[in-house]
Structure 1
């Protein structure tokens, strides 16, 4: 059984709790979250200058790191970027610029980040690539799961919504991953993928298009509603 997804399901307000990111002023401007990707750099440079020097160290060119965050010597930092409080940055993480990492998040070993927003308490812990993407509050990317942000023919990315395609006008667009999503190990989120909040993606999946909130993605032909049973 496949579950239909509407335009309303993929709106910014439906996918994310904007109170769980320092990027709320940027994201709230846009009906659809991918529209914010082109403004991340300018937003970081603007808000970074307003961050308190009592809380944040400014390192290099427009890189702001909260003083509670330890940066291992093997980490590569390129601005502009912001890493918020109590984030765990692990060895070998590679930040390529235009990146916001939220409070209490995990930026893991050998993970690469580029032009993306990571919400508070999100976990990208092992061998992941996050490019031109947004990862929601308390979402988790399983080991080696990645966001593929460029089509093989280099054409502009479209969001596939049932029988309708939405032209984004963007060449590089990875995935919009809503709050509380679990992406299984080794999965690929193809360009323009959108996953609704509280959904689960089976390991080794290749996801293309939109997955409705509260769904379990087993394959492109088997997406089922998640049933939560509360035990008394």
Structure 2
């Protein structure tokens, strides 16, 4: 049931330093509560030849570029060759993958960004997982709390799934493109290689290799 929203269908676990956090989990939201403790455990065994510790529970790869104006609160790991730009705000419980970009005024909280993820311009990403090479256009955000503050229900393709969790943002599969100014509502899941039109309000699940134009028009990509 709901196989298309399983971790195995969304992410290439070879493209994250956090692969082990997914052990024993079937769906991506099951990982969210484990991120902070996982970072502390992993950070303490990272090789000192490649990573330096900056403050409490913050590990930054020596090859990463972190602007002086960026704020990083632990637990946090910044991966090799990542770039954390001017006035980025990392609130904690964040894994920034190798070669990833966290941009100007982007805010992260309780997230895993796989390798090569780009959140480069005025993005909010909270309680979310972004797969390999996922990209969020300028001003696009993950909304992670319902307006009525009720527990989040995942609207899966084969039926609803009760999570028992109050805060869930979005899960973007590998190579997902989110258009500028879009809002991913709580519990949104976007399958691999799908595109979201700019200025969209997305909820529920978008199938892999699809183009989301609006809630009534989700089309399969042309493979030609």
Work out which of the residue numbers 207, 212, 221 in structure 2 matches 1:212.
207
Using the TM superposition, give the Cα deviation of residue 228 of structure 1 relative to its aligned residue in structure 2, in angstroms: 2.1
**Structure 2 partner of 1:172:** 167
**Structure 2 partner of 1:8:** 3
Coordinate RMSD, CA, aligned: 0.9
Secondary structure of 1:115's aligned partner: strand
Using the TM superposition, give the Cα deviation of residue 27 of structure 1 relative to its aligned residue in structure 2, in angstroms: 1.6
Using the TM superposition, give the Cα deviation of residue 70 of structure 1 relative to its aligned residue in structure 2, in angstroms: 2.3
- Paired residues in the alignment total 224
- Rounded Cα–Cα distance in structure 1 between residues aligned with 2:92 and 2:24: 22
- Rounded Cα–Cα distance in structure 2 between residues aligned with 1:28 and 1:12: 10
Secondary structure of 2:168's aligned partner: coil
- Rounded Cα–Cα distance in structure 1 between residues aligned with 2:159 and 2:5: 13
- Rounded Cα–Cα distance in structure 2 between residues aligned with 1:158 and 1:209: 9
Secondary structure of 1:160's aligned partner: strand
Tell me, which stretches of 5 or more residues in structure 1 are unaligned? 1-5
Work out which of the residue numbers 39, 46, 52 in structure 2 matches 1:51.
46
Is the CA contact 1:18–1:28 (under 8 Å) kept in the aligned structure 2?
A: no
- Rounded Cα–Cα distance in structure 1 between residues aligned with 2:132 and 2:155: 24
The answer to whether the aligner puts 1:74 opposite 2:91 as a matched pair is no
- Rounded Cα–Cα distance in structure 1 between residues aligned with 2:36 and 2:17: 14
The answer to whether the aligner puts 1:29 opposite 2:2 as a matched pair is no
Tell me, which stretches of 5 or more residues in structure 2 are unaligned? none
Secondary structure of 1:124's aligned partner: strand
Secondary structure of 2:48's aligned partner: coil
The answer to whether the aligner puts 1:124 opposite 2:119 as a matched pair is yes
TM-score by length of 2: 0.98
TM-score by length of 1: 0.95
Q: 4+ residue stretches of structure 1 with deviation over 6 A?
A: none
